A and B are shown apart, each in its own frame.
Chain A
Amino acid sequence: MLEKLVNGFESFLFRNRAWVVGIFIFLTLFLGYQASQLKMDAAFIKNIPLHHSYMQTYLKHQKDFGGANSIMVAVEDTSGNIFNANYFDTLKNVHDQLFFIPGVDRAQVKSVFSPSTRFTEVVEDGFAGGPVIPADFSTSVEGLETVRDNIEKAGIVGRLIANDYSAAMVSAQLMDFDPQTGKPLDTIAFAAQLEKELRGKFETDKVKIHIIGFAKMAGDVADGAKGVLLFFVIAILITAVMVYLFSKSLILTILPLVCSLTAVVWQLGLLTVIGFGLDPMSILVPFLVFAIGVSHGVQIINAVRHRVIDGQTTRAAAASAFRSLLVPGGVALLSDTVGFITLLSIDIGIIRELAISASLGVGVIIFTNLILLPLVISFTEIKVNKHAVPTTEEVRSDAIWRFLARFATPKYAVVVIIATVVLYFIGLQQANKMKIGDLQGGAPALHQDSRYNLDTFFITDHFSITTDVMTVIVEAAPEACTYHDVLTQIDEFEWLVRNAPGVESTVSLASVAKKVNAGFNEGNPRWEVLPRTTASLVQAIGQIPTTSGLLNSDCSVMPVYLFMKDHKAETIETVVAKVKTVAAKMDNDKLQFKLASGPVGVMAATNEAVAQAQLPMMLYVYGAVFVLCLISFKSFKATVAVIIPLYVVSTLAQALMTQLDIGLAVSTLPVIALGVGIGVDYGIYILSTMSPKLSEGMPVQQAYYEALVERGSAVIFTGLTLAIGVSTWFFSALKFQMDMGILLTFMFVVNMLGAIIILPALSAVFWRQPK
């Protein structure tokens, strides 16, 4: 039935081959134009699991308290002392410049120059105070001395001024939408503007500019991603050489490469058509599409070559290759596609984008490499040496096939299976230790010695603040902050969480109100309490403006800020667990402590989403592969023989992650699904040849040998090509790309080994010869 369909399709296509190729050329031109319009695109909102309960809290209060999308600019005086005229002029310029960059929430730009930065001091008859930078500020020696005094009185050392007075901070919150255009903020353009307008204009020998924050990181990641083009070219060249060595024919080298590149063009073009940009996180997809395309192309040219050697004409050989490979190739590619589509189940925008762009890419390979490639080949004349005597190389590879075929004998099969089981359990032990989230400090997407991470380390070393902030949102009734018991509970909560390992310091309305109350009592620390008298409490709270971020306008919402040691997954887990326990104990109908906002709150949600997504994702991807194998082989045994090696290899990949300190994160989560999706190809190609022979009753060893002769070289070649293509990422400027490269290389190579070693061993057991 299926065969009839394929045959009918074949004769239709090959009869109208000129038309079909014409349509392909037209589509390629159209999509090529679309692809040229593709933009890099990185939005903060895509990186967060929007439906996670933490993120619901985050989004609900984002308007009042700003979000997690902040930018910090530390302006350093390289002499180590900021109190000089040149420095203050520069600092003011940086402040003003940042204020005017579109996308910055102007109300939230903070530095010593913002009018809301004030100092207060206690004098005999009450308070005295004013802005830290007085209205009559001058950069004279006296003027700077006044500012220095005010800075100390304002208590901003560590926050807006470095602890050692070597730098000052200008910070801002970003808006999700550009207020002028109403469009989502172009993060990458914004980052480029920061680089140009701040660092470009103001960095000198004397003044260094350190910039951190999501937008800057995304910009740096995008810059790093541009280097990917070079890797792409290198990968194409390596692949071309490999294909030539494999095919010994220029035409058979060029055609699969061209068809694979066509697939890439289609994929990029389709992204534009459906209105997507290319996220730096998805930049690997074109690589994958190209590599997968080549691997299927190689199967086609391998089949064509075999048939031409057998004496067929090129056209007949192409048609026959098309017929025999459309189904296994199609199933393999469908498994890949389904593997990627399972990623849609993860509630994180960029992973979904990756899922869509990768499944599009793999889907188009069915057209470009399984249909277009044989059609194009049919126009050519392939010449192969038709010596009856096998070449030395063929003899050598035949020896390899005979060696490998032994794995399909019961004796070797037992050894292989025992070794596999041992390896699996060792791997499992390691895999269970796999960590969730980012394991390093700084921005995990970038290398530790990147400018961005060096800037991060400068800021964390010189200031008492970091971007590693998690905010617990306290929700209560309107005017809640005028009640002593409400603030007491917030104060208690803050103190208990402050005691969690990993929390460096905390701040909330309650703790600030206590300090203000001491201020109202002559600055006497013995009055650092929440006054029981409502009038005194209101007086203290009244001093704290909503711009402080400690309360909203009717003080029904009061965040507690937790400044954390770092954002490693373990630290986050500890603190989140502590917050949950304390909150569970203290929550009541008047007052709820809700996770979470702030950059670390987002990370906590992401880590949880990733951890939760892992299992369903694996179930879906394996389920899909299982169903597709079952359909194509119509054999349960065959399906299991394909899936077991895959499963062992994914476990080993997780063990590798533990060994290499690679955490399960937004960037590495898809790798496992991709690895399984692509890894299944090898098994499908080999078993689809073996399966009919086995059902005819051929012994396993013989069936496997014949499968190897027909497709073995293509399978091994494919594994190596894919691996070499992704292994170039090892040199990427982006840490996450390096991690993905390592993992994918591992998965491609080891899955290939699994298909030619474990699969035959399992087959030997499953299709045991009756003695």
Chain B
Amino acid sequence: MPFRILQCVAVFCLGSTFFPSTLSATSSDLLFSQIQPLAASSLILDIANVGNGLVAVGERGHVLVYDGSWQQVATPVSSQLTKVFFINQKLGWAVGHDATILHTQDGGQTWQLQMHSPEIEKPFLDVMFLSENNGIAVGAYGLFYRTSDGGAHWNDEFHEELLAEEDVSYLAELKDSDPSAYLSARTSLLPHFNRVLTLTDGRLLLVGELGLVAVSSDQGKTFARTSFAYDGSMFNAIETQDTVYVMGLRGHVFKADVSLNQWTEIALPVQSSINGVMSAADDTLYLVGNAGIVIKLNKDDSSSIVTRRQGENLVSIAKDKQGDIWLSGSQGLFILKP
């Protein structure tokens, strides 16, 4: 069938000239996030409210902006982004693996790289700004960077005061005997800093691995551990009118009044780790976590399971201006059905 030959040949030629142009990226493009149709259903790790919209970040350097629908925007990294923070409608920062810090000045539409240091082999796990210029990014193994110029320069700090007692003396010994071992030990002895939060009275609350719950009265220059007795990891924290909650591994949630002296545990009906939290009306909290759980925690410590999504982990929760509650996690972004 000669006509079919022509057709086959035509398709083949079209094919071979067409494909390279649709995907002209080379392997160096792995450094950049790729705009892909399924980005909104990839692993999304944080959602932030920005003006009337939302901005979400996740794996592969994905950033999505919500304004009635989710649109993926380009970023200069393909590293996993763990957190995003906006100080106002325009200025925001996203942090993540490979010690990445991204910055936006237009509410999340375009992003510039402020820091990207894969060689550190540590992720940032949270970022927080006290003002347009002063910010802190924290992460694994006590990773702690500070900026005082809006992120143009980031400087690391070592929070020795959060070391365990035996580690302090061990490091002191090492510092004299083996300076290089001292430097490498310093990079792995501190616990992960999972979340840093400004309290209404201006103090900073830092929660993390191995029961780390510390507070700082000097904008994070020094921290002091609170009398927190559980030694599992805390992943998140939130402050309501008169109460501070911290939450983390295997459904452990604790609360304290603003003095942060006395922590009481709240019993939850699940044993899944709590990753994300949002406060709703009447200081009710929504907790989201692994095994797809969404829990409503009332002021009187009673709680109920709102939903349980099989086979996925939920990480973050946020409410948009229309009042829809958005969840994010291993299956991406979706609305919590009431």
Chain A positions within 8 Å of B, measured between CB atoms, are: 122-124, 152, 155, 157-158, 163, 428, 431-432, 488-489, 492, 495-496, 498-499, 522-529, 531-533, 577, 580-582, 584-586, 588, 611, 614-615, 618, 647, 650-651, 654
Other-chain contact of A152, B30, B118, B291 (Cβ < 8 Å):
B291
Is B26 among interface residues, defined by CB-CB distance under 8 A? yes
Report yes or no: A124 in contact with B3, Cβ–Cβ below 8 A.
no
Contact with A along B287-298 (1 / 0, CB 8 A): 000110000000
* A122 neighbours in B (Cβ, 8 Å): 249-250, 273
| Closest residue of B by beta carbon distance from A124 | B232
CB distance from B98 to the nearest CB of A (A): 7
Q: What would 14 A/B residue contacts be, using CB atoms closer than 8 Å?
A: A496-B34, A499-B37, A499-B38, A522-B232, A523-B273, A523-B313, A524-B233, A525-B313, A526-B125, A526-B315, A529-B79, A581-B22, A615-B8, A651-B1
A152-B310 contact in complex given A528-B80, A615-B5, C-beta closer than 8 Å: yes
Is B20 among interface residues, defined by CB-CB distance under 8 A? yes
> When chains A and B are docked, how far (Å) is the Cα of A431 from the Cα of B43?
45
* A152 neighbours in B (Cβ, 8 Å): 291, 310
Contact with A along B256-294 (1 / 0, CB 8 A): 000000000000000001010000000000000011000
Report yes or no: A584 in contact with B80, Cβ–Cβ below 8 A.
no
Can you list the 6 inter-chain pairs with the closest CB atoms, starting with the nearest? A581-B19, A499-B36, A526-B82, A525-B313, A532-B121, A124-B232
Is B146 among interface residues, defined by CB-CB distance under 8 A? no
* A157 neighbours in B (Cβ, 8 Å): 310-311
A528-B43 contact in complex given A432-B7, A582-B23, A584-B19, C-beta closer than 8 Å: yes
> When chains A and B are docked, how far (Å) is the Cα of A413 from the Cα of B273?
85
* A528 neighbours in B (Cβ, 8 Å): 43, 59, 80, 330
> When chains A and B are docked, how far (Å) is the Cα of A525 from the Cα of B292?
12
CB distance from B201 to the nearest CB of A (A): 28
* A163 neighbours in B (Cβ, 8 Å): 310
Given A431-B3, A581-B22, A584-B19, 14 more pairs with CB closer than 8 A: A123-B250, A124-B250, A152-B291, A163-B310, A431-B1, A492-B30, A492-B78, A496-B34, A496-B36, A526-B45, A526-B275, A585-B23, A614-B4, A650-B1
> When chains A and B are docked, how far (Å) is the Cα of A532 from the Cα of B123?
11
B1-24 CB contacts (< 8 Å) to partner A: 1, 3-5, 7-8, 15, 19-20, 22-23
A524-B273 contact in complex given A496-B34, A498-B38, C-beta closer than 8 Å: yes
* B311 neighbours in A (Cβ, 8 Å): 155, 157-158
Contact with A along B113-130 (1 / 0, CB 8 A): 000001001010100000
* B20 neighbours in A (Cβ, 8 Å): 581, 584
CB distance from B162 to the nearest CB of A (A): 18
Report yes or no: B19 in contact with A577, Cβ–Cβ below 8 A.
yes
A-B contact count (CB 8 A): 107
Report yes or no: B329 in contact with A525, Cβ–Cβ below 8 A.
yes
> When chains A and B are docked, how far (Å) is the Cα of A488 from the Cα of B30?
9
CB distance from B315 to the nearest CB of A (A): 5
A522-B273 contact in complex given A124-B249, A529-B123, A581-B22, C-beta closer than 8 Å: yes
Report yes or no: B27 in contact with A525, Cβ–Cβ below 8 A.
no
CB distance from B19 to the nearest CB of A (A): 4
* B250 neighbours in A (Cβ, 8 Å): 122-124
> When chains A and B are docked, how far (Å) is the Cα of A481 from the Cα of B23?
26
Report yes or no: A495 in contact with B36, Cβ–Cβ below 8 A.
yes
CB distance from B196 to the nearest CB of A (A): 14
* B301 neighbours in A (Cβ, 8 Å): none
> When chains A and B are docked, how far (Å) is the Cα of A76 from the Cα of B328?
33
Is B60 among interface residues, defined by CB-CB distance under 8 A? yes
Interface centre among B23, B25, B36 (most CB of A within 10 A): B23
> When chains A and B are docked, how far (Å) is the Cα of A157 from the Cα of B15?
40
Is B235 among interface residues, defined by CB-CB distance under 8 A? yes
> When chains A and B are docked, how far (Å) is the Cα of A585 from the Cα of B209?
41
> When chains A and B are docked, how far (Å) is the Cα of A295 from the Cα of B8?
37
Is B161 among interface residues, defined by CB-CB distance under 8 A? no
> When chains A and B are docked, how far (Å) is the Cα of A214 from the Cα of B225?
63
> When chains A and B are docked, how far (Å) is the Cα of A163 from the Cα of B123?
35
A577-B36 contact in complex given A124-B232, A432-B3, C-beta closer than 8 Å: no
* B186 neighbours in A (Cβ, 8 Å): none
Interface centre among B1, B23, B330 (most CB of A within 10 A): B1
CB distance from A503 to the nearest CB of B (A): 9
* A532 neighbours in B (Cβ, 8 Å): 98, 118, 121
Report yes or no: B8 in contact with A577, Cβ–Cβ below 8 A.
no
B216-264 CB contacts (< 8 Å) to partner A: 231-233, 235, 249-250
Other-chain contact of A577, B15, B30, B291 (Cβ < 8 Å):
B15
> When chains A and B are docked, how far (Å) is the Cα of A152 from the Cα of B36?
31
Is B319 among interface residues, defined by CB-CB distance under 8 A? no
CB distance from B118 to the nearest CB of A (A): 6
Report yes or no: A525 in contact with B249, Cβ–Cβ below 8 A.
no
Contact with A along B204-215 (1 / 0, CB 8 A): 000001000000
Interface centre among A158, A526, A533, A650 (most CB of B within 10 A): A526
Other-chain contact of A495, B60, B121, B315 (Cβ < 8 Å):
B60
Report yes or no: B4 in contact with A588, Cβ–Cβ below 8 A.
no
CB distance from B325 to the nearest CB of A (A): 19
CB distance from B135 to the nearest CB of A (A): 19
* B19 neighbours in A (Cβ, 8 Å): 577, 580-581, 584
Report yes or no: B25 in contact with A529, Cβ–Cβ below 8 A.
no
* B103 neighbours in A (Cβ, 8 Å): none
> When chains A and B are docked, how far (Å) is the Cα of A585 from the Cα of B21?
11
> When chains A and B are docked, how far (Å) is the Cα of A625 from the Cα of B232?
82
A524-B235 contact in complex given A428-B3, A499-B38, A533-B121, C-beta closer than 8 Å: yes
> When chains A and B are docked, how far (Å) is the Cα of A586 from the Cα of B7?
29
A581-B23 contact in complex given A152-B291, A155-B311, C-beta closer than 8 Å: yes
* A522 neighbours in B (Cβ, 8 Å): 209, 232-233, 249, 273
* B7 neighbours in A (Cβ, 8 Å): 432
CB distance from B288 to the nearest CB of A (A): 11
> When chains A and B are docked, how far (Å) is the Cα of A115 from the Cα of B19?
45
B117-155 CB contacts (< 8 Å) to partner A: 118, 121, 123, 125
B302-325 CB contacts (< 8 Å) to partner A: 310-311, 313, 315
* A581 neighbours in B (Cβ, 8 Å): 19-20, 22-23
> When chains A and B are docked, how far (Å) is the Cα of A680 from the Cα of B36?
54
> When chains A and B are docked, how far (Å) is the Cα of A310 from the Cα of B80?
95
| Closest residue of B by beta carbon distance from A428 | B3
| Closest residue of B by beta carbon distance from A432 | B7
* A495 neighbours in B (Cβ, 8 Å): 36, 42, 60
| Closest residue of A by beta carbon distance from B209 | A522
